[in-house]
Amino acid sequence: MAGYLDTPIEYLKGVGPQRAEALKKELDIHSVGDLLMHYPARHEDRSKVYTIASLGNAEASVQVRGRIISTDLLGMGAGRRFTAILQDETGMLELIWFQGIPWVSKSVKPGDQYMAYGRISDFKGKLSMAHPELESGNTGTQGKGLVPVYPLTDGMRRRRLDNRFMVQITRMALADSKLEIPENLPENLLRELRLISRTQAIKQLHAPADLGMLEAAQNRLKFEELFYLQMRHLQVKSHRNQTVRGPVFTEVGHLFNTFYKEHLPFTLTDAQKTVLKEIRADMKTGKQMNRLLQGDVGSGKTMVALLSMLLAADNGFQACVMAPTEILAAQHFYSISEMLEGMHLKPVLLTGSTPKKARTGILEGIKNGDVPFLIGTHALIEESVAFKNLGLVVIDEQHRFGVAQRAKLSMKAQLPPHVLVMTATPIPRTLAMTVYGDLDVSVIDQLPGGRKPIQTVLRPGSNRPLIMDFIRKEIKAGRQVYYVFPLIEDSEKLDLKSLMSGYDMVNDYLPAPEFRYSMVHGKLKPEEKDDEMRKFRNGQTDIMVATTVIEVGVNVPNATVMVIENAERFGLAQLHQLRGRVGRGGNQSYCILVAGNKLSATAKKRMDTMVRTTDGFEISKVDLELRGPGELDGTRQSGILDLKLADIRHDEAWLLLARAKAEDLLNADPLLMKAEHFGVRQELGRIPHRTVWSKIG
């Protein structure tokens, strides 16, 4: 059904083959439809015409109208400039050009009426406007209203295809009598939400009648964008639920019960119980679980993982845990082994540094089913690892794994295993819904009781003697301390050097051997790293000097102080992760951020946020505000966030509405067979199937 929208862009009046080439190459605009989907980035309010006398040193650009009474060519070489004096009934304004002088000097005619648009600058009381946008003629008494400003590329500008050109051809397309934009939202939804039609919205977005209509257009198109994103998520999810069968864990058996009754070292928090129920419900239905488990650092995700693994074992399946680093894998291995003590269930650790000899035996055990629980790094997804019957995959700190790696792991079983993705980088609900919209999400929103909130302070480097005194006292009281230095410019060599001088600095205050040190950095061999970690964990050392390699998952409950040098260089998520290394036992813990006095506004905001709150969700919200949705850990690669109009930072209400309406629609008409959903079905068919990043199995 080729309509006007499919018209090749070169056939649009005012375009032609050469400009069409530029539009295709630079903006991916191939048809009239593409042109109309190239939304303005913003609009300039040109409805108001200012009198010259009323102009101050305005921040925004303004528009004035008047007659050019004189022009002048001044200066030589680089100082050369062309000026024109614009006069209205209230005063005079100087217009200045430093570039394009030959062209301007020819086209600006003294005596003629002009509309000038640009930014005013005030030099010692004399107002001027540099490089104004100038239009000749007596364009009535009204301004041009809201003028769309389109995203352009340098390549476009080089060919003199500017915003005015985009406005012109877009208007041309909108004015064509053959224009017909099919509606893609059901009528009743439009009525219910009071959204304007698609045709109207697109017209008003490109050429708004007024601010009210512009907003109506934006709302309609925002909703549409979010609605289709959610429709795709929900379709992926329901497709998976219908076609992909996971292993069925019917039993809560002996292993789970024994562990729960006899080995559980504490009572579960309510949040842990709730999440466990959600996981249980998934696992017994025969649908394949794809669940994201969000929980702040220290909220006890590992125990939830372990209990889920016991469910797998009770039903005759193997389970594995995949962690992003050797330290983390080892950490999981130790804590899980410890918890399973006396249970006759021996987990096995497999990483890149597992010796060859041991490896052969381990691989055999995985294959014949002797290994119930396998814990490791991405070594788990190597070809040589074959499971007898893998039923559950737990992925910790998921943002560090790529899609391909996860998919590979899932392939290792006849039935796609249940997948539990755990992340300690909480992301706001809106973001989760946008990026992981096809996953089920569980949240542990509660820390185990009896914990004292970590006290966080910001201190300048000049306070170091006091900080060191404080550390000394803590160590004398039997506690342990992390001392972290940032990575310098991503260079491992510099990194090590700065860590060494950092170590020397700390050592000046707290000398070895009186104080015992562990040191961990990127240059160490895995077994060396492991050794350093182990000494710290066992209390054989007092101070862990480290770069950010200790960032995630390390669990040493006796450590009570986290000092972070050059804290301003860290992102919020990282700071939060680092801080989460302390406050894991019963003792009051502290986080000391050491930073310079001159901080940028955003660095200041990061520091203030850390001092103000320990709530990971709150912190991630600020992070989202500061950095924008595409920059948060775990979402960067997704591409799903390339939204054209909606901004999930400000459009939460629309997002929730879109999700709810998409759910309603799919519940009422799962296959979109109803006549009134024809437009929806068509639209979904048109959208290219972007990779849904969170898809696992």
Residue nearest to ligand ADP (CB): 300
Nearer to Mg ion, 36 or 422 (CB): 422
Binder of residue 66, out of Mg ion, ligand ADP, none (CB less than 5 to 8 A by kind): none
Least distance to ligand ADP, CB of residue 276, Å: 11
Q: Which residue has the tokens 């041309």?
A: 172
Rounded Cα gap, residues 183 and 197, in angstroms: 7
Residue 271 found at the interface with ligand ADP (CB under 6 A): no
Tell me, by CB under 6 A, how many residues bind ligand ADP.
17
- Choice between 295 and 324, CB closer to ligand ADP: 295
Nearer to Mg ion, 146 or 444 (CB): 444
Of the candidates 584, 661, 677, 695, which one interacts with ligand ADP according to CB under 6 A? Answer: 584
SS3 57: coil
Q: Which of 519, 452, 450 shows the shortest CA–CA distance to 481?
A: 519
- Give me the residue whose beta carbon is nearest to Mg ion: 553
Residue 297 engages ligand ADP in binding (rule: CB under 6 A): yes
Query: Does residue 303 belong to the site contacting ligand ADP (CB under 6 A)?
Result: yes
The rounded Cα 336 to chain-centroid distance in angstroms is 31
The site partner of 218 among Mg ion, ligand ADP, none (C-beta below 5 to 8 Å per kind) is: none
- Return the structure tokens found at 570: 């860290």
| Shortest Å distance, C-beta 398 to ligand ADP | 13
Gap between the Cα atoms of 694 and 437, Å rounded: 8
Q: Which residues of 195-221 are buried (b: 16+ CB within 10 A; e: fewer)?
A: bbebeebbbbbbbbeeeebbebbbbbb
- Residue (of 280, 367, 282, 278) closest to 318 by Cα position: 367
What CA–CA distance (Å, rounded) separates 219 from 502? 53
CA distance 436 to 431: 8
Q: Rounded to the nearest whole angstrom, what is the least distance from the CB of residue 266 to ligand ADP in the complex?
A: 4
The two structure tokens encoding residue 475: 């160590």
DSSP string, 459-528: E-GGGHHHHHHHHHHHHHTT-EEEEE-PPSTT-HHHHHHHHHHHHHHHHHHS-TTTS-EEEE-TTS-HHH
Q: Is residue 456 close enough to count as binding ligand ADP by CB under 6 A?
A: no
The residues that bridge with 291 in the sheet, in sequence order, are 420, 440
Q: Is 290 within 8 Å of 240 (Cβ atoms)?
A: yes
Helix (H, G, I), strand (E, B) or coil at 410: helix
Instruction: Identify what 319 binds: Mg ion, ligand ADP, none; CB under 5 to 8 Å per kind.
Output: none
Query: Does residue 308 interact with ligand ADP by CB under 6 A?
Result: no
| From the list ligand ADP, Mg ion, none, partner contacted by residue 584 (C-beta under 5 to 8 A by kind) | ligand ADP
Minimum distance between the CB of residue 261 and ligand ADP, rounded to whole angstroms?
16
Return the closest-CA partner of residue 524 out of 505, 500, 508: 500
Q: Nearer to ligand ADP by C-beta: 247 or 553? A: 553
Is residue 295 a contact point for ligand ADP (CB under 6 A)?
yes
CA-to-CA distance for 194 and 324, rounded, in angstroms?
A: 48
Closer residue to Mg ion, CB minimum distance, 324 or 553:
553
Picked from Mg ion, ligand ADP, none, the partner binding residue 297 (CB below 5 to 8 A depending on kind) is ligand ADP
Residue 616 binding ligand ADP, by CB under 6 A: no
Q: Which of residues 170, 218, 315, 555 is near ligand ADP by CB under 6 A?
A: 555
Q: How many CB atoms lie within 10 A of CB 458?
A: 18
Our finding on whether 582 is near ligand ADP (CB under 6 A) is no
Given the complex with ligand ADP, which of 338 and 514 has the nearer CB atom? 338
Task: Report if residue 399 touches ligand ADP, rule: CB under 6 A.
Answer: no
Nearer to ligand ADP, 302 or 547 (CB): 302
> What is the Cα–Cα distance from 10 to 180, expressed in whole angstroms?
19
Q: Which of residues 416-455 bind ligand ADP (CB under 6 A)?
A: 424, 448
**Burial of 341 by CB count in 10 Å (0-12 exposed, 13-18 middle, 19+ buried)?**
exposed
* Residue number with CB closer to ligand ADP (84 or 323): 323
Among 566, 567, 532, 565, smallest CA distance to 550 is for 532
**In terms of CB distance, is 518 or 555 closer to ligand ADP?**
555
Structure tokens at 365: 């055990």
Q: Is 301 in the site for ligand ADP (CB under 6 A)?
A: yes
Query: Binding residue for ligand ADP (CB under 6 A) from 266, 360, 612, 664?
Result: 266
Residue (427 or 666) nearer to ligand ADP, CB: 427
Considering only 66, 186, 300, 416, the residue that binds ligand ADP (CB under 6 A) is 300
Candidates 136-144, 203-211, 262-270, 470-478 — which segment interacts with ligand ADP by CB under 6 A? 262-270
Q: Which parts of 160-253 fold into alpha helices (H)?
A: 163-175, 187-193, 198-206, 211-243
- Please say which residue, 148 or 298, places its beta carbon nearer to Mg ion: 298
Residues in contact with Mg ion by CB under 5 A are 553
- Taking the C-alpha atoms of residue 19 and residue 26, their distance in angstroms, rounded to an integer, is 10
Shortest Cβ 525–ligand ADP spacing (Å): 25
Q: Which residues bind ligand ADP (CB under 6 A)?
A: 266, 268-269, 272, 295, 297-303, 424, 448, 555, 557, 584
